[in-house]
């Protein structure tokens, strides 16, 4: 085997060992064996309620180890095929298998990162809110660029998303936008994106072509399901209805279907204008409110107030990541040191390296 192939195999094996250790692979395997013995018992289905509970438990914990078992199986298959191709001097097959090994090594590293996403709501969908900060039109355009970056990232992962609320800027971009991202571990992947993002570029809105610095904040919250009890007193809510913003003409919403909910004790505001139904928009806004209140509760337990509550300025000195387009190109995360000179790719949704390095520092 070539040195690169040996390196990839070692990388995959190391990832497998780390994942197994982190998820307690041997303990889960022993538990599955015990549950399987119960299922195979002759009188297992005599107690339907218990049988359903046991089978669901087995399926649930089996999901935790199936990806690493699949990884092991594919590694064994590839190494066996590479050895066979070497014996037969099949250069074309070796080239293809070497490429497959490269791909598997990347998948192993990603799976290793995903194994760290085991917090209570890491597997949940999420709401991602972007607000333009200091910089006027520049910042509003930057907020819209960030929204595109995250939706492109979601598309590449085959996640579904919808824009639940959007406040357009006067000249360009958006003042604020909320995106509902739906996919396995969406919150886990994006939770470390909360913070201030800084852009440096030659302004397309400046006739003198001067360099401008713009800021926008990102706030990510998990979508809270019905199993989480969040107490909300109706007396603490102010609910406003208004016409949804649109492109004009036939697209203008002539009814007051958009809903804005303000939670008076905390000052949290959520809004939805995605649906023509006022009732549906109210449900979406309430869901976002529950998610924000729950996120605030979690942050308080960790003695770290969320970015939307601590009134941190969306300006210089508070950024978690800088995106420099002029006079050179560099995207750098100030927390992890991760950086790349390929800024266009990042703005097109290629942000996995930043997400993975942030998660690895958990």
The per-residue pLDDT for 227 is: 58
3-state secondary structure of 112: helix
Q: In Å, how far are 9, 56, 85, 254 from 245, measured between CA atoms?
A: 54, 45, 62, 10
Q: Shortest CA distance to 39 belongs to which of 63, 17, 57?
A: 57
At 226 the three-state DSSP class reads coil
Q: Is the dihedral of CA 176, 180, 183, 189 positive or negative?
A: positive
For residue 301, pLDDT over 50 is answered with yes
Extents of the domains making up the chain? 3-114, 126-360
Strand partners, 321: 197, 333
153-162, 223-232, 345-354 — which is least confidently predicted? 223-232
| pLDDT at 325 > cutoff 50 | yes
pLDDT over 60 at 315, yes or no: no
Q: What number of CA atoms fall less than 13 Å from residue 209's CA on the CB side?
A: 2
Report d(CA 143, CA 213) in Å as an integer. Answer: 13
Q: Which residue has the higher pLDDT, 310 or 280?
A: 280
Task: Pick 139 or 110 by higher pLDDT.
Answer: 139
Closest by alpha carbon to 179, among 197, 161, 192, 160? 161
Q: What is the pLDDT of residue 303?
A: 47
The confidence band for 307, taking pLDDT boundaries of 50, 70 and 90, is very low
pLDDT, one tens digit per residue, over 160-177 is 999 998 999 888 899 999
**Amino acid 277: pLDDT:** 85
Q: Which residues pair with residue 262 across a beta bridge? A: 238, 269
Mean pLDDT is lowest, of 66-70, 289-293, 313-317, for 313-317
Residue 121: helix, strand or coil by DSSP?
coil
pLDDT at 297 over 90: no
SS3 70: helix
Q: CATH number of the domain at 126-360, please?
A: 3.30.70.1660
**pLDDT computed for residue 228 by the predictor:** 64
pLDDT (0 to 100) of residue 339: 96
Phi and psi based region of residue 303 (left: phi greater than 0; alpha: psi -120 to 50; beta: remaining): left
The predicted-structure confidence for 122-152, as pLDDT tens digits, reads as follows 888 999 999 999 778 999 999 999 999 999 9
pLDDT at residue 337, rounded to an integer: 94
User: Over the range 60-78, which residues count as b (16 or more CB within 10 Å of their CB) and which as e?
Assistant: ebbebbebbeebeebbeeb
Domain 3-114 in CATH 3.20.20.100? The answer is no
The mean pLDDT value of the chain amounts to: 86
pLDDT > 90 fraction of the chain, expressed in percent and rounded: 54
pLDDT, mean of residues 203-232: 83
Q: What does the pLDDT look like over 6-32, one tens digit per residue? A: 999 999 999 999 899 888 899 999 999
**For position 52, what pLDDT does the model report?**
92
- Sole residue written with tokens 């449900």: 283
Q: What pLDDT was estimated at residue 180?
A: 95
């Amino acid at each position: 085997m070539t040195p690169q192939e040996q390196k990839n195999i070692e990388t995959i094996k190391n990832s497998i060992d780390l994942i197994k250790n982190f998820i307690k692979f041997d303990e889960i395997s022993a538990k599955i064996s015990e549950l399987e013995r119960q299922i195979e018992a002759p009188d297992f289905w005599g107690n339907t309620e218990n049988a359903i509970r046991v089978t669901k438990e087995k399926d649930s914990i089996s999901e935790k180890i199936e990806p690493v078992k699949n990884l092991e199986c594919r590694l064994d298959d590839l190494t066996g095929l590479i050895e066979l191709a070497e014996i037969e001097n099949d250069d074309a097959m070796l080239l293809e298998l070497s490429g497959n090994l490269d791909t598997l090594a990347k998948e192993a590293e990603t799976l290793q990162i995903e194994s760290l996403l085991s917090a209570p709501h890491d597997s949940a969908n999420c709401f991602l809110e972007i607000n333009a900060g200091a910089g006027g039109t520049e910042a509003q355009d930057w907020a819209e660029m960030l929204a595109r970056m995250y939706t492109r990232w979601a598309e590449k992962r085959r996640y579904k998303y919808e824009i639940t609320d959007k406040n357009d800027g006067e000249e360009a971009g958006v003042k604020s936008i909320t995106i509902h991202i739906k996919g396995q571990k969406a919150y886990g992947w994006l939770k470390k994106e909360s913070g201030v993002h800084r852009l440096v570029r030659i302004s397309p809105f400046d006739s003198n072509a001067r360099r401008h610095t713009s800021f926008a904040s990102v706030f990510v919250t998990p979508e809270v399901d019905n199993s989480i009890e969040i107490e909300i007193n109706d007396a603490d809510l102010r609910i406003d209805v208004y016409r949804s913003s649109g492109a004009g003409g036939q697209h203008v919403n002539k009814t007051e279907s958009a809903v804005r909910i303000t939670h008076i004790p905390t000052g949290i505001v959520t809004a939805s204008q995605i649906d023509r139904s006022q009732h549906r928009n109210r449900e979406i806004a309430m869901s976002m409110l529950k998610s924000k209140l729950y996120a605030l509760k979690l942050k308080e337990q960790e003695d770290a107030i969320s970015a939307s509550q601590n009134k941190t300025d969306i300006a210089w000195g508070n950024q978690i990541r800088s995106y420099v387009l002029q006079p050179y190109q560099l995207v750098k995360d100030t927390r992890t040191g991760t950086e790349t000179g390929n800024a266009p790719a990042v703005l097109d949704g290629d942000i996995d390296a930043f997400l993975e390095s942030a998660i690895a520092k958990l």
